[in-house]
Amino acid sequence: MGAVEPVRTERLLLRRFTEQDRAPFAAINADPVVMEHYPSTLGRAESDAFVDRIESSWRERGWGLWAVEVVAPAAPDEAPGFVGYTGLWPADHVAPGLVEVGWRLAHAAWGRGYAPEAATAALRLGFDDLGLDEIVSFTVPQNANSRRVMEKIGLRHRPERDFDHPSVDPVASPHLVRHVLYAIDRATWVAHGGASEWAGEATRR
Ligand SMILES: CC(C)(COP(=O)(O)OP(=O)(O)OC[C@H]1O[C@@H](n2cnc3c(N)ncnc32)[C@H](O)[C@@H]1OP(=O)(O)O)[C@@H](O)C(=O)NCCC(=O)NCCS
């Protein structure tokens, strides 16, 4: 079960993390611009521990967050290589068994539609390979870029399911407690022809 094998999209290779990804991933997690909507940036040890959890997920569940590698750069002056993660992650704190699609990319890689392109592959994995009934995504209301990605890949805001994140400290980070929840269900995915219709229209800028 799951796509342990790498997945190729139009411009990206979605694959398991390698040891070589750890340093650039730590730089992403230490960047205050990338981490603006999180309670704090991550140090090297925290970043490495996150990679360990990601790899455990692949081993134990057969799915998780992919390392996103640009293999066909959008711009001529852009170097190929690792730019961050996109993929599926458990959201049991929202509801038992619920699965989230998520993303975090290096600032230099923003604005090229890489997150929607990779996230559409994650929806395909979740619905077509794992047989999920629903996939959600959530963030703080002020994270406009992430909400835009959710919209582009076909998720819709479900205000009645907005929630207070249980692991955010309301004293230290009151502005990061409330989360907006977006969702797409299997019927909607199928009705829109799955990835074949989202691709092109929804994943490209
Ligand atoms: C969210 C994120 C992955 C978007 O990835 P992406 O590949 O840039 O996605 P897109 O190219 O489709 O851009 C999405 C929107 O971001 C905004 N955006 C793009 N490039 C930007 C830039 N350089 N600076 C500021 N905003 C930018 C635009 O509003 C864009 O929408 P548009 O295509 O309608 O113009 C990226 O912004 C990121 O890693 N953010 C930090 C981590 C994070 O918050 N993750 C989500 C937590 S729930």
pLDDT digits (tens, 9 = 90+) for 38-79: 999 999 999 999 999 999 999 999 999 999 999 999 888 899
Among 134, 154, 150, CA closest to 86: 150
Pairing of strands 12-15, 81-90: unpaired
Cα angle: 138, vertex 99, 111; to 5 degrees: 45
- Domains of the chain, first to last: 7-201 (3.40.630.30)
Residue 1 CA, ligand 1 centroid: distance in Å: 31
Instruction: State the average pLDDT over residues 113-138.
Output: 97
Distances (CA, A) of 151 to 37, 76, 122, 143, 203: 18, 28, 15, 13, 10
- The residue contributing the CA closest to ligand 1 atom 29 is 145
Q: 165 C-alpha vs ligand 1 centroid, how far in Å? A: 22
Average pLDDT over residues 142-148: 98
pLDDT for residue 200 is more than 90 = no
The pLDDT score that the predictor gives to residue 4 is 75
- Give the 3-state secondary structure of 23-55: HHHHHHHCCCCCCCCCCCCCCHHHHHHHHHHHH
CA–centroid distance, residue 60 to ligand 1 (Å) = 30
pLDDT tier at 107 (50, 70, 90 boundaries)? very high
User: Residues 162-169: what's their mean pLDDT?
Assistant: 96
Report pLDDT digits (tens) over 171-194.
999 999 999 999 999 999 999 877
Contact 117, 70 (CB under 8 A): no
- At 5 the three-state DSSP class reads coil
Ligand 1 atom closest to the Cα of residue 84 is: 39
Q: With a threshold of 0.75, does the pTM exceed it? A: yes
DSSP 3-state of 95:
coil
User: Does the pLDDT value for residue 203 go beyond 50?
Assistant: no
